Amino acid sequence: MKRHIIGLDVGGTKISLIIATDAGRILVKTVIPTEVERGPEHTIKKIIAEIKGLLKEVKIKLQEVKGIGIGVPGSLDPIKGTILGSPNMPGWSGISLKDILNSEFGLPVILDNDANTAALGEKLFGAGRDIDSLFYFTVSTGIGGGFIINGKIHHGASFNAAEVGHMVILPDGPKCNCGKRGCLEALASGTAVARSAREKVKNNPSSLIMKLVDNDVELITARIVAEAAKEGDELAKQIYQEAGTFLGIGVANVLNLINPQMVVIGGGLSYSGSILFEPMRERARQEAFGRTYQVCQIVPSKLGNTAGCLGAVGLVL
Amino acid sequence: MKRHIIGLDVGGTKISLIIATDAGRILVKTVIPTEVERGPEHTIKKIIAEIKGLLKEVKIKLQEVKGIGIGVPGSLDPIKGTILGSPNMPGWSGISLKDILNSEFGLPVILDNDANTAALGEKLFGAGRDIDSLFYFTVSTGIGGGFIINGKIHHGASFNAAEVGHMVILPDGPKCNCGKRGCLEALASGTAVARSAREKVKNNPSSLIMKLVDNDVELITARIVAEAAKEGDELAKQIYQEAGTFLGIGVANVLNLINPQMVVIGGGLSYSGSILFEPMRERARQEAFGRTYQVCQIVPSKLGNTAGCLGAVGLVL
């Protein structure tokens, strides 16, 4: 019986690989560096070797494997299985992971965007079991999204749906990596938190943030700011308050537009907990229609960094 | 053969009634005043009499009618067929049009929100035939929306989806009727255009707008501003430019989130043409992802003010 699935979550710095059952039970997991600088050929060879090693490790034959699911960053052509363009993975454009792995293993290979994949993981095996419609936010260096409707990923007309990080909510706001201004990503991502902190410590040199980085402004990250906030530092708390408030506007806009049963917040910033979630929930409550807010559970990711791999498994199911 | 459908579009000031074939051909149409001040009982009696009159007029027997579809403003309980709350129709809350018309005619009665209904009308019989996913904006006194996905209305978890008018795109912007600030409706609706004009004529007393209202600021409407803009009045053009730009941000946010094949712009302001559409398209192009924008047709409503009635017919199909 083909009861096993190989799931990959491919990122700009690392690649997670799992073998799981069709019930989402992870049998084995490993993480390898992407080594973008060495090009896709090198890394794909490593992926193939790792898959072979993992199968051997859990004593599963290829005949028992249903397929390979892969989450990749950026936009992709799901039919050809090629990555179209990923800012963090130059050199991978046009590479068909699908063809390469399919001809190597003789298994079906299905690719999808990594935020979509994580959304599917949460729907099938995480916070959203028994939920038909959910919207997943990944709040990390950037902000991405995945939209599950009637239990399935909503891809949109050109496979570009759920780009919630580039929803404009402050037209004259700070510049985003995408070139526009006032995108949610420019206001509530880890990058936005760190940038805001770097600016604000200038007038607040006594903030704990500065102590935590030995007065080297360049070392400030969202994680450092979260640490300072949890220690009670006023500036750090204010920065998270602002980011959470903007995130709450983003959540409310999604609620008013899509009216989902659940919003799942994942990604690195979701670990910061109440310093982000409290202002986010408060603002979402203010901005969304009453019933729309009431029927929607807003919860942190349950699967954390395995959401992507498990969602990749879900692609094959 | 039950090939005919009765469609109603119920609004705060008037009610449109049609009898159409299942192919969307309108056999007869009439419009009656809602007379909100006289209460729902009075108006429902009139609706029943009109339906009977129309059936007689086109010589169609009840046995040939498949059902009655109704678009209503505000939120509703689609199962009970009751209007839950409509700011423009006080007194109608809790009234089950469904039960009343069903027991009168013995026909299936299906209600939906009026913007959803208009979206369905455009999908089935208007701009969006052969289109699976479209988002409909009604830009009028307020701004509403309807979201068609896989050919069907997306209602959301509490039947409140597609409230695009209350997407926040300028957090400290002008106050909206809903009580919040910076909603799309507060920036790009007919009300917003008129309010902006009333403020701006103070510093521009020579604007054509003032001539068109005989210097009575209270008489300024979005239609008057459009008239002045078409005559080349700079202030009026600027006001539409601003509204169109905000509408373009709203359209882009919908595009980036949903990635539809088509956006249809209906409602009173859509008749203003290029003075609204040009800045809207330009800003949407700037703010939406390239492929997302390229694959999406942004078009004016094809059915105009019959979209609601024809969509109501579509509810029954």
Mean pLDDT split into 10-residue runs, chain B, 317 residues: 93 94 96 93 96 97 97 85 80 90 96 96 97 96 96 95 97 94 97 97 97 97 97 98 98 98 97 96 97 97 96 97
Does the pLDDT of residue A82 top 90, yes or no? no
Does the pLDDT of residue A94 top 90, yes or no? no
The interface residues of chain A toward chain B in range 230-269, judged by CB-CB distance below 8 A, are 249, 252-254, 256-261
Residues of chain A contacting residue B161, judged by C-beta atoms under 8 Å apart: 257-259
Does the pLDDT of residue A78 top 80, yes or no? no
Residues of chain B contacting residue A295, judged by C-beta atoms under 8 Å apart: 157-158
**Partners of residue A8 on adjacent β-strands:** A17, A70
A149/B154 Cβ within 8 A: yes
Radius of gyration of chain A (CA): 20
Cα–Cα dist B21/B5, whole Å: 6
Containing A68, the helix (H) or strand (E) segment is: strand A65-72
Give alpha helix (H) positions in chain A. Answer: 39-57, 97-105, 114-125, 184-188, 190-200, 208-212, 222-230, 234-258, 274-287, 290-294, 307-316
Read off the pLDDT of residues A100-114 as tens digits, 9 standing for 90 and up. Answer: 999 999 999 999 999
The answer to whether A271 contacts chain B (CB < 8 Å) is no
pTM surpassing 0.90?
A: yes
Per-residue confidence (pLDDT) for residue B94, from 0 to 100? 87
Per-residue confidence (pLDDT) for residue A210, from 0 to 100? 98
**Partners of residue A108 on adjacent β-strands:** none
Q: How far is B157 from chain A (nearest CA, A)?
A: 5
Residues of chain A contacting residue B187, judged by C-beta atoms under 8 Å apart: none
Per-residue confidence (pLDDT) for residue B183, from 0 to 100? 97
Cα–Cα dist B209/B18, whole Å: 37
Is there a contact between B84 and B92 (Cβ–Cβ < 8 Å)?
no
Alpha carbon B289 to its chain's center: 27
Residues of chain A contacting residue B260, judged by C-beta atoms under 8 Å apart: 156-157
Choose among B168, B171, B292: nearest Cβ to A160: B292
The answer to whether A169 contacts chain B (CB < 8 Å) is yes
The answer to whether A297 contacts chain B (CB < 8 Å) is no
Q: Which of the residues B134, B292, B294, B296 would you substitute to probe the A interface, choosing the one with the greatest number of A C-beta atoms within 10 Å?
A: B292
Does the pLDDT of residue A296 top 90, yes or no? yes
Per-residue confidence (pLDDT) for residue A79, from 0 to 100? 76
Read off the pLDDT of residues A158-207 as tens digits, 9 standing for 90 and up. Answer: 999 999 999 999 999 999 989 999 999 999 999 999 999 999 999 999 99
The answer to whether A289 contacts chain B (CB < 8 Å) is yes
Per-residue confidence (pLDDT) for residue B74, from 0 to 100? 84
Q: How far is A101 from chain B (nearest CA, A)?
A: 27
Per-residue confidence (pLDDT) for residue A295, from 0 to 100? 97
Closest-CA residue of B relative to A262 is B157
The answer to whether A142 contacts chain B (CB < 8 Å) is no
Is there a contact between A36 and A98 (Cβ–Cβ < 8 Å)?
no
B258/A164 Cβ within 8 A: no
The interface residues of chain A toward chain B in range 170-189, judged by CB-CB distance below 8 A, are 170-171, 180
- The closest of B190, B230, B191, B225 to B210, measured between CA atoms, is B225
The answer to whether A149 contacts chain B (CB < 8 Å) is yes
Residues of chain B contacting residue A167, judged by C-beta atoms under 8 Å apart: 253, 256-257
B180/A286 Cβ within 8 A: yes
The Cβ of residue B171 has, within 10 Å, a number of other Cβ atoms equal to 18
The percent of residues above 90 in pLDDT, for chain A, comes to 90
DSSP A73: S
B260/A158 Cβ within 8 A: no
The complex's ipTM?
A: 0.94
Read off the pLDDT of residues A212-251 as tens digits, 9 standing for 90 and up. Answer: 999 999 999 999 999 999 999 999 999 999 999 999 999 9
Give the pLDDT mean for A124-141: 96
Per-residue confidence (pLDDT) for residue B77, from 0 to 100? 83
Per-residue confidence (pLDDT) for residue A90, from 0 to 100? 81
